[in-house]
Amino acid sequence: MEEYIKMNILDTEFMQGFIRMANDGWEQGWHERNGGNLSYRMKPEEVVQGKESFKEGQWQPIGAKVPGLAGEFFLVTGSGKYFRNVILSPEDSLCIIEVDKQGENYRRVWGLVNGGKPTSELPSHLMNHEVKKKATDGKYRVIYHAHTTNVIALTFVLPLKDEVFTRELWEMATECPVVFPSGVGVVPWMVPGGREIAAATSELMKEYDVAIWAHHGMFASGEDFDLTFGLMHTVEKAAEILVKTLSMRPDKLQTIQPEEFRHLAEDFHVSLPEKFLFEKQGTQSTAPVEKQGI
């Protein structure tokens, strides 16, 4: 007979990975107060691992329809909870939720031991998960929202266009087009926490792994915790270099050229959409879109 070892859910690999990622984000300075949120679509075997500690709560409306996620379980940060506290008190800061058969309601099955609800950005998280699950044949499991300082700063000075943000970020570090070859999308300022911003973000997630929320932060998606955190980190680091560059002078003396990106794409076996490789008029990052030939 197979020996059955009862495992504390807090010791499971997915829980430990989630907690470490939340704490890494805190240490980067991306999670002031309750800023940001994180969600993970659990694997069937992880649901089995956790079942012993589940206690089903009441069904609640998600605020969005996600039939593609019917019956799925998610580990999610709680609304108003601080990333700082995730590592100190995960069962107070996090919860596991189950989505119903229609994809319209959820119920808490674990966590938030002192009360509370999943993140107010649950519609965005779940709509993004639905898009990514379909687009990647179930491979993508993580959606991460962070208040990344430098990306937010850039949304005040760059035109809010996918083409401009992608191209400027790609130019800031040679690894960027390799790490996010499909580019980044930009959502104009919208009221957070609702269905409308969730719909706009998930539309962009059909094309990109990253969506920037103007004057607010960023959403990143990926297969696992490392890849998703690494993606957020790479984009934010590129933004930091651009902020530093723009702080020295408004133009660049030299940068990576469209033809050089095409060579890079060949050698690194990535495909870079031509819409980001436009010829620029002048060298100012902040030049209006019309003047950048797009």
Catalytic positions, written as ranges: 121
Q: Which of 22, 25, 37, 236 binds ligand 13P (CB under 6 A)?
A: 37
Instruction: State the nearest-atom distance from the C-beta of 25 to Zn ion, in Å.
Output: 12
Residue 93 found at the interface with ligand 13P (CB under 6 A): no
CB burial readout 270-282, b (16+ within 10 A) else e: eebeeebbeebee
* Distance in angstroms between the alpha carbons of the first and the last residue of the chain: 66
Q: Which of 9, 19, 25, 36 binds ligand 13P (CB under 6 A)?
A: 36
What does the per-residue mask of binding to Zn ion show for 214-243, with x meaning CB under 5 A? ---x--------------------------
Residues 119-148 that bind ligand 13P (CB under 6 A): 119-121, 145
Instruction: State the nearest-atom distance from the C-beta of 89 to ligand 13P, in Å.
Output: 15
Residue 28 found at the interface with ligand 13P (CB under 6 A): no
State the DSSP string of 122-180.
HHHHHHHHHHHHHHTTT---EEEEE--HHHHHHTTTS-S-HHHHHHHHHHH-TTHHHHS
- The Cα 117–Cα 124 span in angstroms is 15
Residue 230 found at the interface with ligand 13P (CB under 6 A): no
- The Cα 107–Cα 17 span in angstroms is 23
Nearer to ligand 13P (CB atom), residue 93 or residue 285: 93
Instruction: State the nearest-atom distance from the C-beta of 147 to Zn ion, in Å.
Output: 6
Q: Which amino acid is at 130?
A: E
Q: Which of 17, 35, 230, 273 binds ligand 13P (CB under 6 A)?
A: 35
Instruction: State the nearest-atom distance from the C-beta of 146 to Zn ion, in Å.
Output: 8
What does the per-residue mask of binding to ligand 13P show for 148-187, with x meaning CB under 6 A? ----------------------------------------
Q: Which residue has the tokens 């509370």?
A: 116
Residue 116 found at the interface with ligand 13P (CB under 6 A): no
Q: Which of 34, 148, 221, 292 binds ligand 13P (CB under 6 A)?
A: 34
Residue 17 found at the interface with ligand 13P (CB under 6 A): no
Q: Are 139 and 209 in contact (CB under 8 A)?
A: no
Size of the site for ligand 13P (CB under 6 A): 12
Cα dihedral 186/247/145/213 (nearest 10)? -30
State the DSSP string of 28-86.
HT--STT--EEEEE--HHHHHHHGGG------EE-SS--GGGTT-EEEEEBTT--HHHH
Residue 194 found at the interface with ligand 13P (CB under 6 A): no
Residue 79 found at the interface with ligand 13P (CB under 6 A): yes
Question: What are the backbone dihedrals phi and psi of residue 96, each rounded to the nearest 5 degrees, phi first?
Answer: -110, 130
Positions touching Zn ion (CB under 5 A) are 217
Contacting residues toward ligand 13P, per CB under 6 A? 34-37, 77, 79-80, 119-121, 145, 192
